[in-house]
């Protein structure tokens, strides 16, 4: 169970980190290495996810976005997809009140039409229950793909232009960003991918333009507080220039 009480954020070194995004990869390989069925890896992955939510809240991170189920994951074996949906439903049912009591604001981003009606209902209830909370903003990407996100935003803007609600000449990057699934959240500062792969797998393609990318060989069920600390230490040593030179940064704010 996620219990976020009794925490005060520790001081943060290095560049500001408001938004952490995580590609949680490696559940199946974790199970395979232990000669366990894949569903054992997914259960262990849930425990790692809840621990991460707790740790991010403790550290005062404002936004956490988790890549839980991609649009491409529908191509996995039907029995595994069914298990993932059932596990997701049980976890949400068990944890939502604890998240709410601890001020977490929950959102689901992605195309959810293919999920069972009962799960979609649970998602909506979770969002409604926590929508006024002002603690950690937790977004869970399900049925999500970065290209889908961009196309949906473009379609929405095209409809607004056709109806006369938007002047195409006035369209800028900020307006486009607000139409993406992440809405008003700031772009991720740091993206962590576990499991040893070095790719972003169609995750937040627009939003990751200037994110720092950290790849960990640790399989997701083993990604604990110490592994997160290693990622944050790495991030603290980065200089975020956003196209500027190091000299410009040094002459400006004095930090990355």
Indicate which residues carry an active-site annotation. 25, 73
Nearest CA among 97, 210, 96 for reference residue 108:
96
**Residue 112 is encoded by which pair of tokens?**
């959810």
Name the strands in the sheet holding 190-193, side by side, starting at the edge strand that comes first in the sequence: 105-109, 137-144, 63-70, 19-23, 190-193, 212-215
Instruction: Let me know the angle formed at the C-alpha of 48 by 45 and 49, rounded to the nearest 5 degrees.
Output: 85
Nearest CA among 40, 15, 18 for reference residue 29:
40
**Residue 71 is encoded by which pair of tokens?**
């649009």
**Residue 217 is encoded by which pair of tokens?**
């060989």
Residue 112 near residue 142 (C-beta atoms within 8 A): yes
Residue given tokens 């799960």 in the structure block: 119
H-helix or E-strand containing 20? strand 19-23
**Residue 135 is encoded by which pair of tokens?**
């603690």
Classify 71 as helix, strand or coil: helix
d(CA 206, CA 21): 13
**Residue 78 is encoded by which pair of tokens?**
């039907």
């Amino acid at each position: 169970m996620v219990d976020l009480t009794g925490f005060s954020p520790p001081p943060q070194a290095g560049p500001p980190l408001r938004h952490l995004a995580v590609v949680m990869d490696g559940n199946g390989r974790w199970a395979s290495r232990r000669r366990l069925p894949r569903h054992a890896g997914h259960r262990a992955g849930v425990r790692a996810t809840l621990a991460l939510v707790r740790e991010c809240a403790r550290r005062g991170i404002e936004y956490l976005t988790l890549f839980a189920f991609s649009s491409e994951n529908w191509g996995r074996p039907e029995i595994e997809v069914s298990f993932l949906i059932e596990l997701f439903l049980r976890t949400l049912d068990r944890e939502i009140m604890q998240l709410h009591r601890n001020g977490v604001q929950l959102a689901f981003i992605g195309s959810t039409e293919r999920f069972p009606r009962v799960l979609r209902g649970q998602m909506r209830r979770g969002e409604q229950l926590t929508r006024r909370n002002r603690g950690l903003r937790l977004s869970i990407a399900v049925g999500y793909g970065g290209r889908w996100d961009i196309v949906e935003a473009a379609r929405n803007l095209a409809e607004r232009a056709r109806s006369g609600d938007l002047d195409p000449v006035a369209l800028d990057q900020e307006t486009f960003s607000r139409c993406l699934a992440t809405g008003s959240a700031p772009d991720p500062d740091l993206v962590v991918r576990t499991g040893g792969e070095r790719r972003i797998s169609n995750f937040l393609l627009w939003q990751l333009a200037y994110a720092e990318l950290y790849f960990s060989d640790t399989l997701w069920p083993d990604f604990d507080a110490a592994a997160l600390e290693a990622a944050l230490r790495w991030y603290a040593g980065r200089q975020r220039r956003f196209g500027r030179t190091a000299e410009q940064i040094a002459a400006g704010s004095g930090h990355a």
